[in-house]
Structure 1
Amino acid sequence: MPLSLARLFALIQYPLPHHLLSRLVGWLADCRVPWLKNALVQAFIRQFRVDMDEAAEPDPTAYASFNDFFTRALEDDARPIGDGVVSPADGTLSQFGPIEAGQLLQAKGHYFSTMELLGGDGEAARRYLGGSFATVYLSPSDYHRVHMPVAGTLTEMVYVPGRLFSVNAATTHHVPNLFARNERLVCHFDTEQGPMVMVLVGAMIVAAIETVWAGQVTPLPRGDVQRIRFDSPVRLEKGEEMGRFKLGSTVVMAFAEPVAFTDQAPGAKVRMGQALGRRSTDEAPGPSRDTHRVD
């Protein structure tokens, strides 16, 4: 069987120094030398056809660094919030559906376990038996702040060290257990309809992952799983920002309560706040409201 370009792209990533490359890109993206950061921003806008009209600050040269531009806020009315479970980010709805026998679908023919995704926490994984999941991939051209798909209270944050494979479509089809082997941040929430977990997955050249309650969390020195519990409640409403990626990556969210997803197909483009489905205990539909913007 001939070696496809997608499989070749996946294979050449195995020996690469993922973390070193990502840190170098992170240093460049945080550079504040005006001519250099402006050149990077302008080249990026041209390459990925970024729509600056919906940005809260539409002037590309007003950002202090490429990272500031990349994690830019949107206008307050740019993303109305729909009913039920909504998309946490702009991107591609890679996969979604039921969690069957503790397994989540990564791509055709590839599954990974909830327990591995959550850093080996079997007790936490059992909460989601019979529940549902959805995966949203953020490409470089997408808006890169992550918002709450439903309202919830943060109970625990877990940093899980790992590799930094790319998370684009080519890699998800050819690297087994991709989301359970990459560096990631696992955020556990209590909601009115039961437990929910949001997993922010790191990737090649993703310089950092931030949350609104702890600031920049990654990169951390690679080591053991690190757990942080929160005695004081961190309450976030649906549509409120919860974190951001400095360069593209993926969000995997899981619900203990089954979700009846709307008529979507894997690979569909979605926008933050777009309705994805409903849980049986969700309230009846009401009028959409605007996002909460965090600058």
Structure 2
Amino acid sequence: MHITNIISQYFGKFAKTQFPPFIQRVINAGYVKFLGLNMSEFKNARYYKSLNDLFTRKLEINREIVSAENEFISPTDSFITECGQIKEDTALQIKGMEYSVEELLTFYCTDNFSKVKEGSFMNFYLSPKDYHRYHSPCEFQLKKLIHVPGKLYPVNLKYLNKELDLFVQNERVILECIDTNGKLFYMVFVGALNVGQMVFEFEPKVETNIDTAEIKVYEYEDIKIDKADCLGYFKMGSTVVMLWEEDAVEIESLLNEDVRFGQKIATFK
């Protein structure tokens, strides 16, 4: 097991510990103040029983969602570190740092790889202060989930600029999806340092950050996900990569911008 996984496991144990109420309130208040969390859409920090509860907090106020059927919405509150066109299998983790989309998706996606190797991509970085739940960007049919064990390097801007193939090296969960136009897209959830777990509410069998090298694949016939449905959550910040089939969407120009779950990020072609 890589040192990053060991560090993350120990941090995960701390984060899920429920300390006596007074101590937990101090921990939560310190976390909110240190990171400058905006808690206006959530319960007061004192009501969360552990750091994990605070990290994975639910929205208490309904978010305004772009309802147009021909538009993708952001699945997360995050920062767009890169976006654009995939060129002959190559996408960017950040400017000047390329990676192979085929390696990211693994050979379990080989049958569909030709559809996305010249498509579009967008990278969503969630910092520790962000809302940590991820949602469906549109109505879609879920075809496959692939869990790929790996390292847990940080995914912040410093590491994106220095660690080659970071997304390919890190643990990840890949969702293979078909939108209402019959077009293919992928959502890739990338683990990171101190991410004790990535949780998927529709598939409780997925266990991340455990001592295994086995890739696990789950295939589905009848799972339909509605737009804005909660898919799950990171236990700390991390990254989501979206990959679209060639000529499927027109993505918005959002490079180096903050986005919020619910806002428009792409339009069906």
Q: Indicate whether the TM-score tops 0.5.
A: yes
Q: Indicate if the aligned counterparts of 2:132 and 2:237 stay in contact, CA closer than 8 A.
A: yes
SS of 2:127's equivalent?
coil
Q: Equivalents in 1 of 2:83, 2:101: separation in Å?
A: 14
Where 2:62 maps in the other structure, the secondary structure is: coil
Query: What 5-or-longer segments of structure 1 have no aligned partner?
Result: 1-14, 281-295
Would you say 1:18 and 2:8 are equivalent positions? no
2:15 aligned with 1:29: yes
After superposition, residues 180-259 of structure 1 pair within 5 angstroms as 180-193=168-181, 194-215=183-204, 217-231=207-221, 233-258=222-247, 259=249
What is the TM-score normalised by the length of structure 1? 0.84
The Cα RMSD (Å) is: 1.8
Count of residue correspondences: 262
CA distance in 2, matches of 1:62, 1:240: 24
Find the counterpart in structure 2 of residue 71 from structure 1.
56
Residue of structure 1 equivalent to 2:33 = 46
Helix, strand or coil at the partner of 2:116: coil
Q: Which letter maps to 2:225? A: L
1:228 to 1:234, Cα distance in 2 relative to 1, 3 A: same
**Alignment deviations for residues 87-131 of structure 1 (CA, whole Å, 9 cap, x no partner):** 110010111111110111111211111111112343332231222
> 2:258: which partner in 1?
269
Normalization by structure 2: what TM-score?
Answer: 0.92
Structure 2 residue 135 is the aligned partner of structure 1 residue 147 = yes
Contact 1:115–1:124 (Cα < 8 Å) also in 2: no
Distance in 2 of aligned mates of 1:79 and 1:211: 23
How many percent of aligned residue pairs carry the same amino acid? 29
CA distance in structure 2 between the partners assigned to 1:125 and 1:43 by the alignment: 46
- Kindly state the Cα deviation for residue 16 of structure 1 after the two structures are TM-superposed: 7.0
Whether 2:82 is the aligned partner of 1:92: answer no
Shift of 1:235: 1.3
Equivalent of 1:175 in 147, 163, 169:
163
Match for 2:65: what amino acid?
P
Q: What is the Cα deviation at residue 175 of structure 1?
A: 0.5
Q: How many Å separate the matches in 1 of 2:77 and 2:225?
A: 19
List gaps (5 residues or longer) in structure 2: none
Residues 76 and 153 (structure 1), Cα distance of their counterparts in 2 relative to 1, 3 Å cut: farther
Q: What is the SS of the residue equivalent to 1:21?
A: helix
* CA deviation after TM superposition for structure 1 residue 133, in Å: 1.0
